[in-house]
Amino acid sequence: MGLWFTERQTKNLAISCRVKKTIYSEETPFQELAVIDTLEFGRMLVLDNVIQTTVKDEFVYHEMIAHVALNTHPGPRRVLVVGGGDGGTVREIVKHPSVERVVLCEIDEKVVAAAKDYLPEISHALEHPKVEIAVTDGIKHVKEKRGTYDVIIIDSTDPVGPAEGLFSAAFYQDVAMALREDGLFVAQTESPFFNKELIKRIFKDVSGIFPVVRLFLANVPTYPGGLWTFTMGSKKYDPLTVEQANIKDYGTKYYSPEVHHAAFILPPFIAELLK
Ligand code: AG3
């Protein structure tokens, strides 16, 4: 069949995947949502024509956004996820025995519903007893909380539309307030090839709020350029001093005790952005 899906990743660059079948599509109050079955990546969640996650490569992103931060904290009990309605990040978080409660703050309940219906291997932990789903704006939720969370994970879409505020200094300030006195956060911060100014600006903003700031990398084939960044801000704990021997086996396919440290080794063109 000659049917293709194309995401225009930048003004001048696109990724195309051959489509087996369109499983579901809907115009929600927030965005255009689709679940497409593709020959190369299996089923994928697409929001406003942007690939969010695919059955084939989702493990890279979800393992890295969850385990690096959770293993940096010596005993995370309360965790907040902002965005992440597909449930992939939550699935990794509940593997940590110290975690008592995970609040998932997703603005669009249709994302949660579609993930439950059509992406069960990604979403199954949304039904876990430790997980509470709050259908609300993460910006609002974080503003209302004080000293509540050990770890906050910002699993957002690209910085356009409803997610734009999740990349602002004011939001990181509120995140700091919502964290406990030794808390930390991690956010997905886009491509080191195509979002250089954004990465620079975020690193600077977070450095003005948190004493420990680190950038790390993972390779997500369906995201623009493949190589992807995550930025961590921490009030106390440093991800670089975590003992590898203390990192448990979480049955992961990308994350490992070695990768925990290796992910922070930055090629000079990326290290340059943080000076
Ligand atoms: N969050 C989306 C990361 C950004 C992808 N950008 C893109 N493809 N242009 C992923 C949500 C998965 N839980």
Instruction: Give pLDDT tens digits for 66-87.
Output: 999 999 999 999 999 999 999 9
**Rounded distance, CA 31 to CA 45, Å?**
12
Question: Running DSSP on this structure, what letter comes out for residue 32?
Answer: E
* Cβ–Cβ < 8 Å for 5, 16: yes
pTM equals 0.98
Query: What is the CATH code of the structural domain delimited by 58-274?
Result: 3.40.50.150
Pocket of ligand 1, candidates 64, 112, 158, 186: which has the most ligand atoms within 8 Å of its Cβ, to mutate?
A: 158
Instruction: Please give the CATH topology (third level) of the domain spanning 3-54.
Output: Spermidine Synthase; Chain: A, domain 2 (2.30.140)
Distance 187 CA to ligand 1 centre (A): 11
Q: Locate tokens 């939550």: which residue?
A: 90
Domain spans of the chain, in order of start: 3-54, 58-274
Token pair listed for 30: 């927030």
The residue-averaged pLDDT of 10-23 equals 97
| Per-residue pLDDT at 104 | 98
CA-to-CA dists, residue 193 to 93, 197, 198, 199, angstroms: 29, 10, 11, 10
Distance 108 CA to ligand 1 centre (A): 15
Handedness of CA 144, 98, 128, 159 (dihedral sign): positive
The residue-averaged pLDDT of 234-249 equals 97
The residue-averaged pLDDT of 123-143 equals 98
